[in-house]
Structure 1
């Protein structure tokens, strides 16, 4: 295998320019999510904007299945920790809901108002608050920056309470960023404000996993090379620990459509996440 030195880190983490119609995806997600929230609200199966901290972004939406929940799935959104909010992703709850799980989508304060280390603690509080409302196993999924955040939940030291950790049955990091140090070389760091100490402390690839976790790192085969590299890190670095690990490259998917499987109860992504 030939390794290539990256000289342009901004380009390495650019997605939209390499995806046909990339600039149209955000509006599409927002419309799909709004329609789904409307449908679920009319059915009485949405509890919206539940606070878990004082900030207006520290809210989560909780979607309920038609019958008693089998457990809880939590989806943490991406956007490089500095864009989007929970309202863009509601439709991705459908696959897990149709499998009988409640689904929580937490929001969080974005950079630069918050640092990544603070976002990690916020997301932990959001997961814990949702877990307090739904019993049973917990399944974590996150996309891009959200993939970092859910793998950070199962790294040590974890910011989650022990009683929540003991309920985590599965974690799936979708196109996750597991080593934050390269981001210090991008223009995004003007907003992220990462320094080396924080990058090291909050990179799952530089930490140890919680014993016994079950983790799948999932990425689209058509994604940027840096995301393919990041996807493989934990499988390499955590393989000597007492954990269950797998790494999947979904054929033909890119960074924006790789999450679409979450909306389909029978898609391999949902079946992997919920172990069905």
Structure 2
């Protein structure tokens, strides 16, 4: 197997290179609108680093709780601000939304990013009330899944996590050792196993693994492996690929948002 090609997304998606530019335009417009409405707190620090910030968006009513969305980018690219507009569905459903940014490989290791995301969620939990729902896309799917391991989040914060939806998650990091990206990850077998959700005990938190039916075969495999390891719900979303599988997050009544919000929405 050519692992570099197997884990490449953009070149296998029609107009794949255009998605980041469109996300940026949509995110910037959303952030400006929410700021004008007084419903955005941008760049709230959760640590001392310049990327240790979280953007917070409030619904137009008392929030039912908080959805935390953790972005992807193979732990090497993007930041939380690029995905801001994907908060819309949760906001319309009456939930606050937190979108953390974190340091990137190779400046840090994936285990360091895990600790940063846990710190961000802990800060968000301290300043909010109600249940917390964790959502992450791609590398972000790996990160939110790792939040469910004992000792990653403080016990009182983990107790508030009502649901977790890893979208197109990377659940077994061992294959990535064989990619050129590993020059940045610096994974070996031991660290890959330690950072892989499939080797965690199944969590008590309800989990739905979500993946697009038109994704690369390795991402379909990665989703299946996590669902099998945890015995959790598993949805293969018809007609979606790695970049548009999250589009349902912009609509409160989409199947994806219903999975994220669950019966308590």
Same fold (TM over 0.5): yes
Match of 2:138 among 134, 140, 144: 144
Q: CA offset at residue 12 of structure 1?
A: 0.8
Aligned equivalents of 2:242 and 2:222: distance in 1? 13
Aligned to 2:196: 203
- The answer to whether 1:39 aligns with 2:33 is yes
Structure 2 residue aligned with 1:12:
6
Matched, 1:97 2:91: yes
- The within-5 A match list for 1:53-202 is 53-155=47-149, 157-202=150-195
Give how far 1:209 is off. 2.6
Cα 1:21–1:185 change in 2 (3 A) is same
Shift of 1:81: 0.2
Question: SS at the partner of 2:209?
Answer: strand
Tell whether 2:213 aligns with 1:226: no
User: Which residue does 1:242 correspond to in 2?
Assistant: none
C-alpha separation in 1, matches of 2:155 and 2:201: 16
Match of 2:233? 246
Q: Is the 8 A contact 2:166 2:210 kept in 1?
A: yes
C-alpha deviation, 1:80, in angstroms: 0.1
Alignment-derived partner of residue 272 in structure 1:
259
Inter-partner Cα distance in structure 1 for 2:32 and 2:127:
22
> Partners in 2 of 1:209 and 1:27 — Cα distance?
37
* Deviation readout 1:231-260 (Å, 9 max, x if unpaired): 011221122xxxxx2000110100000011
Unaligned runs of 5+ in 2: none
In structure 1, runs of 5+ residues without a counterpart are 1-6, 240-244
- 3-state SS in 2 of match to 1:209: coil
CA contact under 8 A between 2:63 and 2:96: conserved in structure 1?
yes
Are the equivalent residues in 2 in contact too, given 1:69–1:134 (CA < 8 A)?
no
Report what 1:256 is aligned to. Answer: 243
Contact 1:102 1:134 in 2 (8 A): no
Alpha-carbon distance, 1:158 to partner: 3.8
Aligned equivalents of 1:219 and 1:238: distance in 2? 16
The TM-score, its normalising length taken from structure 2, stands at: 0.98
